[in-house]
Structure formats: structure tokens, C-alpha cells
């Protein structure tokens, strides 16, 4: 019963009993101040003026699961988090429309997905960590049904992907980091027994380093690839280390490979560095490419290529070391191009052929429209210790260097060409086109504008050795 009704009924009863008449005639009652509005009146007014209740808030699209139990956001509209029932120290957190965070297996593992349709999956052994931060980003660490442990995949940026030790078995301590939109980093993925691989796309939102459309892959698609590291920094920059290429071939047992590609973040053509990919048992290969249209490959496509190094620096520059052949060891190819326009440099060492050892090719270009190419022990088999160097500092100049090319069994061949001056052509060839040519040396030097210089040693025949040929300033010298 309300207070107002109760008081009203008491007042009516008092009047009926004559109590009210006596109170009115009492002096102190008549002189009393009028009563303030009763609480009943206020409560009645408040009740009439009460606001309508606010509608219930929609549940946040956040879900958290720990040790197989959803502890938060059971009513989340679309976000989904899942951990194995009975697991220990596992946590999955999904935030955003369509976000999915899953710990498929393994204790002490975590998965965090933040962003629209972001996906994070941690699986395999223990202590795997997957973090995806950004719309449509994917982070995979470990592999379901295997014993991959201590894998970490971290993604920051929309439409990016990071995989560490995924879809393979026995991949340990792999790390893949992505910061930047449309970037991908893969470490020890799709293969077996890949250990300690690190793939990093170097974009950094705090430093402003570009990372869009970049990819870094280390020890992927093959088996037993160890200690591979691939780093890509910049748009359209790609780095592979000890990896097989989908649709081409797979590489096995590649270890210690390092591939680094750096790009300014612009341009449509990528900067690519590849080390020991596509072949088997390629070890200690290193490939580094800097600038647009630069390609570096070391110990690639072939088998048992070890210790190869390829470096390309500048636009329109390519360097190859021990590619296409088998058992190519300790090959080095360096190409540097600082020119513009149609200028470009290319260096190849111990490529295409088999069993090419200790080959070194160096090409340097400075100047517009200059073309420099250098090759050592290319196309033939059993070419070892070949050295080819090319240098260009003049505009419009063409310099070509070849050593032990086209034949088999060519060893110790050296070809060196130097060009200085606009419109000049310089070439040096040693022990080419024939078989079993050894210790041939060809040197061509040009420092005069408009001059053509060429040198050949032991060319177009077999069994020639020990020839030394030099030509300079418009001369042509051919032996034998």
C-alpha cells in the first residue's frame, strides 16, 4: 500500500471520530506553520516524472577463451575464441567483426586476433604465440597434430600474413613478423624439421619504413632447412632464403641461408634476393638486393650449392652465383648499378653448369645508358676458380667480361674489362667456347672516348691453357 493512500485513509478515520474538530480549535495547532508538501506528494510527482528505462546495450564483439572455457563474450555476435578443453595456460582472444582466435593444440600457447575478419591460430606443441592485428590479417604459429614448439607469428597491418613453422613437422623457434599492409612473412613453413628460421618484413609504423606488398620467406617449402633468415624492407621487395618456389621446385636441407631485399617503397618492379632455393643441400648462401629492379640469387635451383654469395645494389642490376647447376661451391657475384635510363649491370658466377667452384663475377656500372655484364664459368661443367670483373664509368659505354664460358673443365680463367669514356665498347673473353681450357687470362682496358677494345684468350677450341691476352684503347687481341 502506498504512503499517500495510507495517510488519506487515516485522515478520513480521524474526521469520522471527531478528532479533527478538536485539533482545529486548539491554539497551538492553529498557530503552527503550514506543513511542507508530504513525502507522499513528492514520491507521486517523482513517479509521474520518471524516465523510461534505457534500452539494453548490444554485446561487444569480443570473446575470450581460457583453458577450454569461454570466460568472456559468450554472447559476442561474430567474434570467436577457442582453446582446447583441458589445456593448461592457454588463452585466445578475438576482437572485431568476424575475428577468430584459436589455440588448436598445445599448452602455454596463445592466439590473439584483432580486426575485422582477423585470424590467429596457434597449434602444434607448446609455447606457440600467434597475433594478428589488422583487418583481414592472418597469423599462424605451429601446426596442428605436430610437435612444433616456441613458434611466434605476429602481424600488424591490414591484409597481411605471418606464418611460423606452419603445416610442417618439427619446426622449432621460428619467428615471422609483419608490419605493413599487404605484406607476408613466412618462416619454416610447409616443410619439415626447419629450425630457428626468421622472416621479417621491415615496415615500422614508428620509423616510417615502408613495408607494403613485401614478402620475406625463410626455409619454406623444403625439408630440414635450418637457421635461415629472410628480411624484406619496402614495397614490392621479396626475399627468399633456402626456400622452394611453388610450381617450380622445392629445396631440401638448406641451412644458414640469408636473403635481404631493400626497396624504397615505390615502383612497380620488385627488388628480389634469393639464396639457396629450389635445390637440395644448399648451405650458407647469402643474397642481398637493394633498389628497384635489382635481383640477387645465390646457389639457387641447383643441388649441393654451398657458401654462395650474390649482391645486387641499384636499379636494373642482377647478380647470380652458382645457379642452375649442381655442386656449385663458394661462388660470389656482385653487381652494382648507379646509372639511370637503360643502364644496368649483371654478374654471373658458376651458373648453369655443374660442379663450378670458387667462381667470382663482379660488374659495376656508373653512368647513363651503360651496360656491363660479367660471367665466370657459366654454361660449362667443372669450371672452378674463374674470376670475371667488369667496370664502367662512362656514359653510353658497353662492357662485357667472360671467363671459361661455353666449355667444360675450364679452371682458373680470369677476364677483366675496364671502361672509362662515353660511347666506348670494351670486352674481354678467356678460355671460352672450348673444353679443358685452364689458366687463361684476358684483360681489356678502355679510357678513351669512342674507342673499341676487345681481348680473347684460348677461345673457340679445346685444350688451350696458359694464355694471357690484353687489349687497350681500341685494340683487338685474340689468342690463339
- Please report the DSSP string for 229-267 in residue order: EEEEESTTEEEEES-PBTTTB---S-BS-EEEEE--S--
pLDDT of 49 reads 56
pLDDT of 368 reads 74
| % of residues, the chain, pLDDT over 90 | 38
Interior angle at CA 166, CA 160 and CA 172, nearest 5: 115
Q: How far apart are CA 46 and CA 51, in angstroms?
A: 10
Alpha-carbon dihedral angle through residues 434, 439, 440, 441, given to the nearest 10 degrees: 150
- pLDDT bin (cut points 50, 70, 90) of residue 20 is very low
CB 392 within 8 A of CB 380: no
Read off the DSSP letter of residue 22: H
If one compares 225 and 390, the residue with the highest pLDDT of the two is: 390
pLDDT of 61 reads 97
Closest listed residue to residue 169, CA positions, set 213, 208, 123: 123
- Tell me the Cα Rg of the chain: 38
Q: How far apart are CA 240 and CA 266, in angstroms?
A: 20
pLDDT tens for residues 57-97?
A: 778 999 999 999 999 999 999 999 999 999 999 999 999 99
CB 277 within 8 A of CB 245: yes
Peptide bond into 48 cis (omega under 30): no
Within 366-479, strands assigned E span 371-376, 387-392, 398-403, 414-419, 425-430, 441-446, 452-457, 468-472, 476-479
- pLDDT bin (cut points 50, 70, 90) of residue 121 is very high
Please determine, for residue 267, whether its predicted confidence score (pLDDT) is greater than 70.
no
Alpha-carbon dihedral angle through residues 36, 41, 43, 44, given to the nearest 10 degrees: -160
Q: How far apart are CA 173 and CA 157, in angstroms?
A: 23
pLDDT tens for residues 424-466?
A: 889 999 998 888 888 999 999 988 766 788 999 988 878 888 8
Q: How far apart are CA 444 and CA 429, in angstroms?
A: 9
Q: How far apart are CA 42 and CA 91, in angstroms?
A: 53
3-state secondary structure of 196: coil
Please determine, for residue 246, whether its predicted confidence score (pLDDT) is greater than 60.
no
Backbone angles phi, psi at 202, to 5 degrees: -80, 20
Tell me the CA end-to-end span of the chain in Å, nearest whole number. Answer: 126
Amino acid at each position: 500500500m502506498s504512503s499517500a493512500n495510507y495517510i488519506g485513509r487515516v485522515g478520513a478515520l480521524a474526521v469520522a471520530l471527531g478528532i479533527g474538530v478538536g485539533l482545529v480549535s486548539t491554539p497551538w495547532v492553529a498557530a503552527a506553520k503550514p506543513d511542507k508538501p508530504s513525502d507522499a506528494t513528492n514520491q507521486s510527482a517523482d513517479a509521474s516524472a520518471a524516465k523510461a528505462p534505457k534500452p539494453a546495450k548490444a554485446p561487444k564483439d569480443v570473446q575470450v577463451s581460457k583453458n577450454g572455457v569461454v570466460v568472456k563474450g559468450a554472447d559476442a555476435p561474430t567474434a570467436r575464441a577457442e582453446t582446447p578443453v583441458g589445456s593448461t595456460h592457454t588463452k585466445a582472444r578475438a576482437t572485431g567483426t568476424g575475428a577468430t582466435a584459436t589455440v588448436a593444440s598445445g599448452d602455454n600457447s596463445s592466439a590473439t586476433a584483432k580486426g575485422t575478419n582477423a585470424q590467429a591460430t596457434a597449434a602444434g606443441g607448446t609455447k606457440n604465440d600467434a597475433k594478428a592485428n589488422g583487418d583481414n590479417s592472418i597469423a599462424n604459429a605451429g601446426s596442428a597434430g605436430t610437435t612444433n614448439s616456441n613458434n611466434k607469428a605476429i602481424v600488424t597491418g591490414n591484409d597481411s600474413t605471418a606464418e611460423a613453422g606452419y603445416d610442417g613437422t618439427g619446426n622449432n623457434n621460428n619467428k615471422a613478423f609483419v608490419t605493413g599492409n599487404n605484406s607476408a612473412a613466412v618462416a619454416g613453413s610447409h616443410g619439415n624439421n626447419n629450425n630457428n628460421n626468421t622472416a621479417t618484413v621491415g615496415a615500422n609504423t614508428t620509423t616510417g619504413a615502408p613495408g607494403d606488398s613485401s614478402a620475406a620467406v625463410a626455409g619454406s617449402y623444403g625439408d630440414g632447412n635450418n637457421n635461415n633468415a629472410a628480411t624484406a624492407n619496402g614495397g614490392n621487395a621479396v626475399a627468399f632464403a633456402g626456400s622452394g618456389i611453388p610450381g617450380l621446385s622445392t629445396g631440401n636441407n638448406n641451412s644458414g641461408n640469408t636473403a635481404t631485399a631493400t626497396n624504397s617503397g615505390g615502383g612497380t618492379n620488385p627488388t628480389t634476393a634469393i639464396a639457396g632455393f629450389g635445390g637440395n643441400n644448399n648451405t650458407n648462401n647469402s643474397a642481398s638486393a637493394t633498389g628497384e629492379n635489382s635481383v640477387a640469387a645465390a646457389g639457387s635451383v641447383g643441388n649441393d650449392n654451398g657458401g654462395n654469395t650474390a649482391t645486387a645494389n641499384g636499379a636494373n642490376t642482377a647478380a647470380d652465383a652458382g645457379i642452375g647447376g649442381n655442386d656449385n661451391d663458394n661462388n660470389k657475384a656482385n653487381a652494382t648499378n648507379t646509372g639511370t635510363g637503360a643502364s644496368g649491370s649483371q654478374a654471373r658466377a658458376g651458373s648453369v653448369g655443374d660442379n663450378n667452384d670458387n667462381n667470382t663475377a663482379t660488374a659495376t656500372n656508373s653512368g647513363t645508358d651503360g651496360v656491363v655484364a660479367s660471367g665466370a664459368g657459366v654454361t660449362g661443367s667443372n669450371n672452378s676458380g674463374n674470376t670475371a670483373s667488369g667496370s664502367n664509368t662512362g656514359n653510353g659505354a658497353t662492357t662485357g667480361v667472360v671467363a671459361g664460358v661455353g666449355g667444360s673443365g675450364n679452371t682458373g680463367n680470369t677476364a677483366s674489362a675496364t671502361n672509362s669514356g662515353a660511347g666506348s665498347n670494351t670486352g674481354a673473353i678467356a678460355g671460352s667456347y672450348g673444353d679443358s681450357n685452364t689458366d687463361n687470362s684476358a684483360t681489356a682496358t678502355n679510357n678513351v672516348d669512342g674507342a673499341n677494345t676487345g681481348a680473347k684468350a684460348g677461345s673457340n677450341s679445346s685444350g688451350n691453357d696458359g694464355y694471357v691476352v690484353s687489349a687497350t684503347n681500341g685494340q683487338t687481341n685474340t689468342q690463339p
